[in-house]
Amino acid sequence: MGSSITYWAALTAAKQTLTAADQDPSAAQFLWQETQNWTFTQLVQHYRELVPATQLATYQQQVARVAQGEPAQYVLGHAPFYGREFRVTAATLIPRQETEELVEWILTTTVKTPQTVLDVGTGSGAIAVTLKAERPQWQVIGTDISPAAVTVAQQNALRLAPQVKVVSGDLFAPVVGQHFDLIVSNPPYIDHTELAAMDESVKRYEPQTALFAADHGLAFYRRFAANLPTYLTPHGTFFAELGYQQGTAVRAIFEAALPKAQVTIRQDLSGHDRMVRVQLTE
């Protein structure tokens, strides 16, 4: 049964609702495109059509939740990453563009021959699953300290890259005794003192253990620096995301712990320090 409201009218009303609630009005378009699996062009092509009544009711409920501050990706239960849709829940971070840039850096600088890969703190499995889907010959394992996150990652792996193994445990605990050509992580790196300045929806809805780290957000980089020689192969490589103000400190941590390694800090598309690569040399 159809409503008397067009997609355009529903979209316009949703933008007004979100703006009035001091939320990003672009979420109104995102919700339509994601629920309908439409490109923006396809959405425009449907503008003048009437929205089915049940579909309109669902959309308005989704908009109401976003107006309350809940991220649209959690409302939908999935989020796009590197051309694929990943299930996300409150147990996992929402995949972001900066992490896509990290994956792109790995794919464009790492040889395509078989690699053993470990993704530490895999969350939704976005990095691990994407690397396996893009490089089927690689052997990929993901770990996460959160059993709930592991469940989500396993579901995403089953649908998008079934050979990915996901296990629960802190940092390297699940892979003791194993060695990897490539280790990657998007670890917790936010300083607790930054809490006041953070987006309210991130603070209220995204998992705190995946966001914050001790020692001004640097604790996990110190743990990685201490453990890389044990878990990387002799010429192995470590990639990680970092906070935009942490480039200098992270470089110093890895250069002090691994004086023979080549440490590279890379900026994101916004020009901020965002990624680190540590290349071991004999």
Residue ranges for the binding site? 121-125, 144, 186-189
As annotated, the binding site for S-adenosyl-L-methionine includes: 121-125, 144, 186
Q: Using a CB cutoff of 8 Å and minimum separation of 24, what contacts does 276-279 make?
A: 276/221, 276/238, 276/239, 276/240, 276/242, 276/247, 276/250, 276/251, 277/105, 277/109, 277/237, 277/238, 277/239, 278/228, 278/237, 278/238, 278/239, 278/254, 279/235, 279/237
The C-alpha atoms of residue 231 and residue 138 are separated, in whole angstroms, by 17
Q: How distant, in Å, are the alpha carbons of 171, 209, 233 from that of 90? A: 21, 11, 35
- Binding residues for substrate are 186-189
Strand pairing report for 180-185 and 165-168: unpaired
> Residue 47 is encoded by which pair of tokens?
């503008």
Single-letter code of the amino acid located at 153:
A
Encoded amino acid at 90, one letter: A
Q: Do residues 209 and 201 lie in contact, with contact meaning Cβ atoms separated by under 8 Å?
A: no
User: In sequence order, what are the beta bridge partners of 279?
Assistant: 237, 262
